Amino acid sequence: MSLHAETERVGERDPPDPADAAVRVDGLTKTYGSGDAAVTAVDDVSFAVEAGTAVGLLGPNGAGKTTAIKSLLGLVIPTHGTAEVAGIDVHADPRAAYRHVGAMLEGARNTYWRLTVRENLRFFAALAGRKPADVRERHDELLARFDLTGKADTPVKELSRGMQQKVSLAATLARDAEVVFLDEPTLGLDVESSRELRRELRRLVEESGMTVVVSSHDMDVIEAVCDRVVIMSDGAIVADERVADLLDLFRTRSYAVTVEGAVPERVRARLRERFDADGFDAVEAGERFTARVVGDGFYELTDTLRDAGLTVADFQTAEPDLEDVFLRVTGRDDA
Ligand SMILES: Nc1ncnc2c1ncn2[C@@H]1O[C@H](COP(=O)(O)OP(=O)(O)OP(=O)(O)O)[C@@H](O)[C@H]1O
């Protein structure tokens, strides 16, 4: 089966429709501007997120992710369709919907830099109507989770960029909302802080039953945190699958292949075309390259090499990669 055919199969699947959806978007369309200047950012999009699960919203720049999230937050009025949170139509009753939601939007300085870390958490909890005594325990727990206990009484402006990012997330979670929207939560974090944040987010979903919609270009976040992934491209959904199923469906494996001697240009062209091969490099044993195999194409690869009279000196495999799948689904892998 060709990659194209598999991509179509992904796109053709019906969106899920769990009865206990915490988030639901139905026939959502948003056109900015009018006449010649009109831009349809989101075009008849439907998806649902089951309560207590995490969904990744992915797509290239301009795919419509931010518009979809802003519609769910009541910040953008849909041209058609509905957006619901906790069963409440966001546009019919924004105040009621808002009580169930926490959001951390990209680039938003959603913390007060003069306030201490703990004061920020209290402030955002109070905005949602939570009394300090009711949230103290949760705030202690959040501070501990994000390794901020020692900085609880430090003004945010005195913290490192990575710590400020963690305070932003903790402040978003401080109000104890059922549904949390996160846009690029790991942006600007170092490798270790990013890993810690992914781990804690996943634990929060599993332990507290929180529902998370996360938009990120960081595939490690999506793989570590999300149960499902909705992939958008040009305002439409091109995949809506469990992360594990999506990886399985493509079962893309990369092989680092070393053959004895040089690979003739004619064979290289075939390997490029059929196995997306690249990185041809002369090495001591002969020549090394990377080939990508979908499904059971492995034997076709070995047959191709044998028919070309090439002897394999070494084969190394890699796990399927969500980024690879994402690029294939959105058709951006031919750059
Ligand atoms: N306020 C606006 N007025 C006009 N066009 C807009 C507006 N906001 C977004 N757009 C356009 O709508 C399309 C979708 O944008 P959107 O920000 O929703 O995509 P995105 O997937 O979130 O992209 P990114 O990953 O870059 O944030 C883009 O073509 C964008 O230029």
pLDDT in 10s for each residue of the chain, 335 residues: 334 444 444 544 454 456 679 999 999 999 999 999 999 999 999 999 999 999 999 988 889 999 999 999 999 999 999 999 999 999 999 989 988 999 988 655 678 889 999 999 999 898 888 888 888 998 999 999 888 999 999 999 999 888 888 899 899 998 888 999 998 888 878 888 888 888 888 988 998 889 999 998 888 888 899 999 999 999 999 889 898 887 776 666 788 999 999 999 999 999 999 998 999 999 998 999 999 887 677 889 999 999 999 999 998 876 666 777 777 777 766 44
C-alpha span between 90 and 188 (Å, rounded) = 31
pLDDT at 249: 66
- 267-270: list long-range contacts, CB under 8 Å, 24+ apart: 267/304, 267/308, 267/310, 270/304, 270/308
Atom 31 in ligand 1: which residue has the minimum CA distance? 62
Give the tokens for residue 177: 């909302």
pLDDT at 320: 60
Helix (H), strand (E), coil (C) string for the chain: CCHHHHHHHHHHCCCCCCCCEEEEEEEEEEEECCHHHCEEEEEEEEEEEECCCEEEEECCCCCCHHHHHHHHCCCCCCCEEEEEECCEECCCCHHHHHCCEEEECCCCCCCCCCCEHHHHHHHHHHHCCCCHHHHHHHHHHHHHHCCCHHHCCCEHHHCCHHHHHHHHHHHHHCCCCCEEEEECCCCCCCHHHHHHHHHHHHHHHHHHCCEEEEECCCHHHHHHHCCEEEEEECCEEEEEEEHHHHHHHHCCEEEEEEEECCCCHHHHHHHHHHHCCEEEEEECCEEEEEEEECCCCHHHHHHHHHHCCCCEEEEEEECCCHHHHHHHHCCCCCC
Q: Which of 29, 32, 36, 330 has most ligand 1 atoms within 8 Å of CB, for mutation? A: 32
- Around 183, how many Cα atoms within 13 Å sit in the side-chain half-sphere? 18
Residue range 209-229, pLDDT digits in tens: 899 999 988 888 888 999 999
Atom 10 in ligand 1: which residue has the minimum CA distance? 41
> Of ligand 1's atoms, which has the minimum distance to the CA of residue 68?
18
Q: Which residues contact 150 (CB under 8 A, 6 or more apart)?
A: none
Residue range 107-165, pLDDT digits in tens: 556 788 899 999 999 998 988 888 888 889 989 999 998 889 999 999 999 998 888 88
pTM of the shown model: 0.76
> Of ligand 1's atoms, which has the minimum distance to the CA of residue 40?
12
Distance (angstroms) between ligand 1 centre and the Cα of 33 equals: 12
pLDDT at 227: 94
Distance (angstroms) between ligand 1 centre and the Cα of 16 equals: 25
Q: Which residues contact 12 (CB under 8 A, 6 or more apart)?
A: none
Distance (angstroms) between ligand 1 centre and the Cα of 78 equals: 14
Distance (angstroms) between ligand 1 centre and the Cα of 65 equals: 8
* Ligand 1: lining residues by beta carbon, under 6 Å: 32-33, 39, 41, 59, 61-67
pLDDT at 16: 47
Atom 1 in ligand 1: which residue has the minimum CA distance? 32
Closest CA to 237 of 105, 61, 42, 40: 42
Give the tokens for residue 237: 């959904």
Atom 25 in ligand 1: which residue has the minimum CA distance? 61
